[in-house]
Amino acid sequence: MTGEATLNDSDIARIAARIDRPIVLVGLMGAGKSTVGRKLASMLGRSFIDADDAIVEAAQRSISEIFDEFGEAYFRDGERRVIARLIDENGGVIATGGGAFVDDETRALILERAIAVWIDCDIDTLVERTSRRNTRPLLRNGDPKAILTDLFEKREPYYSQAQVRVLSEDGPHKDTARAIIEAIGKWL
Ligand code: S3P
């Protein structure tokens, strides 16, 4: 869905005016949720918040430290609470960590109160993008391509419940943001 710019500024403004809920971006690590989210928010004239950043701020620890000190279950608990708070407080665009939408309670909340957008992406692009930073605990122990392939298989049934799906190719993030606006416009 990326590529051709099919929407002009007034199309975007018209769709933006009809969006009455937060937009929550879901999908695997490396799909571009934060970068695309920032671009999408600025195109829609909305605020942007990254749920992982909010978790780090609330815990005063990095994601890796939270996993190492307290474990994944503790992280997921905090993630659920933070996303619930962000949905309450934020009418804009919220990027979530790749596992958030797999949690039944978090997913139900997002589907009820927001528009969930799954940024789908091929595994090789995810491997390439996630190799640029070493901040993701789930990718530290093993071959990233095998881990991401396994996570895709396990999580695809959940991600596919999002109201909107957009394919992110290895092109400019603004094309993906535009494709999201177009897909939301069709869905609304
Ligand atoms: C995770 C994804 C990460 C972060 C944590 C766990 C996951 O966020 O929440 O490392 O379970 O896929 P990004 O998807 O933003 O990398």
Q: What is the pLDDT of residues 30-85, one digit of tens each?
A: 999 999 999 999 999 999 999 999 999 999 999 999 999 999 999 999 999 999 99
Question: What average pLDDT does the segment 158-179 reach?
Answer: 93
- Output the CA 147–ligand 1 centroid distance in Å: 13
The CB of 98 under 6 Å from ligand 1? The reply is yes
Say what angle helices 144-159 and 123-130 make with each other, to 10 degrees: 120
- Sort 40 into a burial class: Cβ within 10 Å, 0-12 / 13-18 / 19+: buried
- Output the CA 136–ligand 1 centroid distance in Å: 6
Residue 145 identity = K
Instruction: Tell me the whole-structure pTM to 2 decimals.
Output: 0.95
- Who has greater pLDDT, 159 or 174? 159
Distances 93 to 5, 13, 20, 148 between C-alpha atoms, Å? 21, 16, 12, 25
Supply the mean pLDDT for the chain. Answer: 94
- Who has greater pLDDT, 67 or 170? 67
Residues in the chain: 188
- Output the CA 126–ligand 1 centroid distance in Å: 12
The four Cα atoms 146, 150, 151, 155 give a dihedral, to 10 degrees, of: 160
